[in-house]
Amino acid sequence: MSKTADSDTRRRVHELVLHRMAGDVDALLRLFVEDVELRYNCSKVGLFPAGQWRGHEALRENLRRTDIDYEPLDAEILDLLVEGDRTAVRWTTNWRHRGTALHFAMDMAHFLHWRNGRVAEMNEFIDHRCVSRAVEAIPRSLEEMENPRPPGLSRDEMAHRATTLGNFSRSGPDIDLFRRFCAPDVVCEFAGDRKTISYAGRHRGIEALVNIVRAVDVDFEQFGAAMPEAVVDGGSVAVRRTVEWRHRGTGRRGIVELADFLRFEDGLIVELVEFRDSVALLRMQD
């Protein structure tokens, strides 16, 4: 896809965000094909259950049910990857509950497939944002943003590494692989509420990441994984994958959708942000 086409796609994503936060449903729907496929994962402040829907009316109903109780306030796009007809976007949003005036900050991620300039398929991940005061993001200089460090790997190798890290065997995760693929001061962030996900928030350092991976393996056994898609843009990679897990305590099994956003520099992963279907996880644990 040409740079012009990529720029057009990025512009449309910004329009999607603006229309959503402005509550302009009609303008938003014009950016989706009539038979759009919709897949929702994770919690949505208890309003809209995870599942699959199709078409404009389902999308309109989703928006209506949310906006009855929650007023959209503002949003910020954090990552925007474009590769051909696929897009992955990660953003944060703030909402006010109309009845209580309480504010909710949410982490969101969308994987979009485009058809003739309109969204034909949307996979959504959304969860409560965990504010990590101990590990703040290190702001990059203007020079670093305009001239990022090279990823040091090919497109296919970055996608391969991003996928391999999540493909645990029945015997558990390969810890040595995390140490080989990640920078010593890697920053990892897990979307969600610390009330339900103890390791939610930002962490810095390979040992912190390894400890979280080991903690997940204590609770869950993984039977297999499939990677529906990967979007690679420069040194950034977004993967959406499906895993089957069994909770070791309850014995319950379930299918979990996950989304990972990774950034590579000089051949190593320097940042990893993960969304997971927290509703599916809670059902296995309860």
Give me Rg for the CA atoms of the chain.
19
d(CA 257, CA 239): 11
Torsion of CA 44, 45, 48, 54, to 10 degrees: -20
Pairing of strands 182-190, 103-115: unpaired
pLDDT computed for residue 148 by the predictor: 76
pLDDT computed for residue 221 by the predictor: 86
* Alpha carbon 241 to its chain's center: 11
d(CA 39, CA 173): 28
pTM across the whole model: 0.91
pLDDT computed for residue 223 by the predictor: 82
pLDDT computed for residue 285 by the predictor: 78
- Common-topology check for domains 3-128 and 142-285: yes
d(CA 234, CA 264): 9
Cβ count within 10 A of residue 124: 20
Q: Where are the domains of the chain?
A: 3-128, 142-285
pLDDT computed for residue 172 by the predictor: 75
Handedness of CA 58, 191, 237, 229 (dihedral sign): negative
Q: Are the beta carbons of 261 and 234 closer than 8 angstroms? A: no
d(CA 37, CA 240): 16
Among 3.10.450.50, 3.40.50.2020, 3.40.50.12280, 3.40.50.150, what is the CATH number of 142-285? Answer: 3.10.450.50
The pLDDT tens digits for 143-178 are 665 577 899 999 999 999 998 888 776 677 889 999
Beta bridge mates, 256? 243
Residues of the chain with pLDDT under 70: 1-3, 42-50, 132-146, 169-170, 227
d(CA 94, CA 286): 29
Q: Are the beta carbons of 47 and 69 closer than 8 angstroms? A: yes
- CATH code of domain 3-128: 3.10.450.50
